[in-house]
Amino acid sequence: MTDEFEFDLEGFEEDLDTTLANGRKAFTGRYKDELNALSGLSKEEIDAISLGITDLQKYDELITVVKEASRVNLEQAALKAQIIKLGDIAVTIAKRIPSLAAIL
């Protein structure tokens, strides 16, 4: 008896469509400039922030938080709280973006 994984292509495409639509909303939402600036940070800049330890997971989490905040038009105070929850490295990365630094 083989244990095969059956891939649900239709479900995948529906999820992908939703994700892409949410991404479009985020990049046209309240924090679109911040998202563009975060996306423009190089690996070297991130490495320098985290003292040579590449913490791409925190960087990715930060982008996800800002993207979702932009999509739902989250208030600045709530965005600040979410960024702080991510920890010191995420806060340091966020502070590289002047408009995010202003709310932190």
Say if residue 68 is exposed, middle or buried (CB neighbours under 10 Å; 0-12, 13-18, 19+): middle
pLDDT (tens digit per residue) in 50-93: 665 557 888 889 999 999 999 888 999 999 999 999 999 899 99
**How far apart are the C-alpha atoms of 65 and 35, rounded to whole Å?**
10
Contact present, 69 and 31 (Cβ < 8 Å): yes
- Which one has a higher pLDDT value, 93 or 7? 93
List phi, psi (to 5°) of 7.
-80, 130
Averaged pLDDT of the chain: 86
Q: pTM to 2 decimals?
A: 0.77
